[in-house]
Amino acid sequence: MVLVRRIMIGASLRRGAARRVIATFILCSILLSGCTNPIGPPKPAANLAVDIDQINAGEPVNFDARSSTSPEGTVITEYAWDFDDGAETTTSQGLTSHVFEEPGTYGVTVRVTNDLGGSDSASWTIHVNAYPEISLSVPSLTKVGKFVTLDANASHDPDGGLLLWAWSLDWLDSDGDGDASNEVDSTESSITLMMNESGEMEGTLTITDDMEASTSRHFSLNVTTRTWRVVWEETRVSYTWDGYLEQGNTWAVIHEPGEGGRLLEVNATLTLAMDFLLQLPQDNFTLKLAVPTSAWNEEHATSQEDPTKEPKAYLDRQEMNSVPDGERTYDADDRDQLRMLLLDETVGRYGQGNWTWQVTADQSDPDWIDEVDPDEGNDWVLEVEFVILTPRITEVV
Ligand SMILES: [Ca+2]
Ligand SMILES: [Ca+2]
Ligand SMILES: [Ca+2]
Ligand SMILES: [Ca+2]
């Protein structure tokens, strides 16, 4: 109105320029909204800006129409918003915010109206991305030693985006840093794994689309142990050592009998050679055994059962450990684990570890008829037999 009044004053002052003023007035009306409209009230000029126009469903967008203008002397009194998703609102300030719940493309419009009833509108297009949808097939129950398939192949993006899969399996430490839950273990859409351990296994699948919108799903599967039938089988293992010892000398051997089994019996015989029938007095050797882990030490001297027989020393032990029941079933994740468990049972540990056998020539040169022993030392033979129980483990399927 101010502008119009000024133009009219100019026209009255310079009458000769009246035609030019009228032409300017018409041009102004055509080119500028805000100039006096010959048909309606003076119009504002709507202007719309947004803080983001590419969002994911459920995210807000801030709309700003405060840079809209209205001709001098008028003020914008109303901003009417149409978000194109069915929602509308009216504000007196040029700011609002709206959350788009559904994916799609929306033409958001603001219509600004001034106090004289003039109005103008501006639009902005908002793209709302759909989150990927997870379709996951995981067995809820499986068994150690079985393969399981975790299949998310049917997952999809409603608006057709390319998908990336990321599996975090809390029981697999793919990067080997000791923490099984801090890495992506697979980026395949479907994975097949051998389950090596029993328990409640948990994981998370995350699918991300080409707009970096991610959807995650937590899952778990119960892995049960395997069942095994155990039968203990008896085996006999023999060792024979021999040698020649002079008086005061000692021979020794260290070995570990019954590895992979449970020791049940041991039977050792040390036999000395006789130079003559009815040789008197006899040589005398000592047989010693030491099993430190069982704090077991024994010592036996040779003697003759009758004068015609070779001198011998015996070491004999039965029922070193308890004999397991005929057949039993056990639950365990794997065969080796169960074997170790069985062999480590306290009722079966006696005699485990190193055995030291020692033969000492205490008296290999005894006085006899001519104060001469025809053999200053003696030949000896040590025969040892073990009875060992070994677990035969078969899976009960
Ligand atoms: Ca998408
Ligand atoms: Ca790790
Ligand atoms: Ca992991
Ligand atoms: Ca001798």
Q: How much is the pLDDT for 195?
A: 94
First to last CA, the chain: 96
SS3 of 225-288: CEEEEEEEEEEEEEEEEEEEEECCCEEEEEECCCCCCEEEEEEEEEEECCCCCCCCCCCEEEEE
Would you state the pLDDT for residue 369? 63
Interatomic CA distance for residues 155 and 215, integer angstroms: 10
Closest of 195, 172, 171, 197 to residue 333, by C-alpha: 197
**Distance (Å) from CA 176 to ligand 3 centroid:** 9
Q: What is the pLDDT of residues 141-197, one digit of tens each?
A: 999 999 999 999 999 999 998 999 999 999 999 999 999 999 999 999 999 999 999
Beta carbons of 37 and 118 less than 8 angstroms apart? yes
Model pLDDT for residues 122-139, shown as the tens digit of each residue: 999 999 999 999 999 999
How far is the C-alpha of 323 from the C-alpha of 350, rounded, in Å? 12
User: In angstroms, rounded to a whole number, what is the distance separating the alpha carbons of residues 355 and 256?
Assistant: 6
pLDDT at 372 over 70: no
Is pLDDT of 296 > 80? yes
* pLDDT score, position 371: 63
For residue 364, what pLDDT is reported?
82
Predicted local distance difference test score (pLDDT) of residue 209: 97
More confident residue, 137 or 5: 137
> Which residues lie near ion ligand 3 (Cβ < 5 Å)?
169, 172, 180, 185
CATH 2.60.120.380 fits 229-396, yes or no: yes
Distance from residue 63's CA to the centre of ligand 2 (Å):
44
pLDDT at 86 over 50: yes
State percent of the chain over pLDDT 90: 76
- Distance from Cα 155 to the centre of ligand 1, integer Å: 12
Class (C level, CATH) for 141-224: mainly beta
**Per-residue pLDDT at 246 exceeds 70:** yes
Task: Render pLDDT for 43-65 as a digit per residue (tens, 0 to 9).
Answer: 999 999 999 999 999 999 999 99
Q: Taking 50 as the threshold, does the pLDDT of residue 322 lie above it?
A: yes
pLDDT of 3: 36
Contact 83, 106 (CB under 8 A): yes
In angstroms, what is the span from residue 222 Cα to ligand 3's centroid?
Answer: 17
Residue 230 has pLDDT above 50, yes or no: yes
| Structure tokens belonging to residue 130 | 């759909």
pLDDT at 277: 67
The rounded Å distance from CA 242 to ligand 2 centre is 57
Cβ pair 253, 241 in contact under 8 A: yes
- Of the chain, the percentage scoring pLDDT greater than 70 comes to 87
Confidence label for 8 from pLDDT (cuts 50, 70 and 90): very low
| 133 Cα–ligand 3 center, Å | 23
Q: Is the pLDDT of residue 94 over 90?
A: yes
What's at 373, amino acid-wise?
D
Provide the pLDDT for residue 275.
74
CB 92 within 8 A of CB 79: yes
SS3 category, 335: helix
CA distance 78 to 112: 6
Q: What are the tokens at 235?
A: 């085996």
Whether omega for the bond prior to residue 281 falls within 30 degrees of 0, making it cis, is yes
Q: What is the pLDDT of residues 376-396, one digit of tens each?
A: 889 999 999 999 999 999 999
Cβ atoms of 386 and 320 closer than 8 Å: no
The domains of the chain are located at 1-31, 40-129, 141-224, 229-396
CA separation for the pair 160, 213 (Å, rounded)? 13
Ligand nearest to the CA of 179: 2
Q: 126 phi and psi, to 5 degrees?
A: -115, 130
User: What is the distance in A from the centroid of ligand 1 to the CA of 58?
Assistant: 13
**CATH code 3.30.43.10 for 40-129:** no
* Confidence grade of residue 281 (pLDDT, cut at 50, 70, 90): confident
Q: Do domains 40-129 and 229-396 have the same CATH topology?
A: no
Task: Give the ligand with the smallest distance to the CA of 133.
Answer: 1
Q: Phi and psi (nearest 5°) for 6?
A: -60, -40
- How would residue 366 be classed by pLDDT, with cut points 50, 70 and 90? low
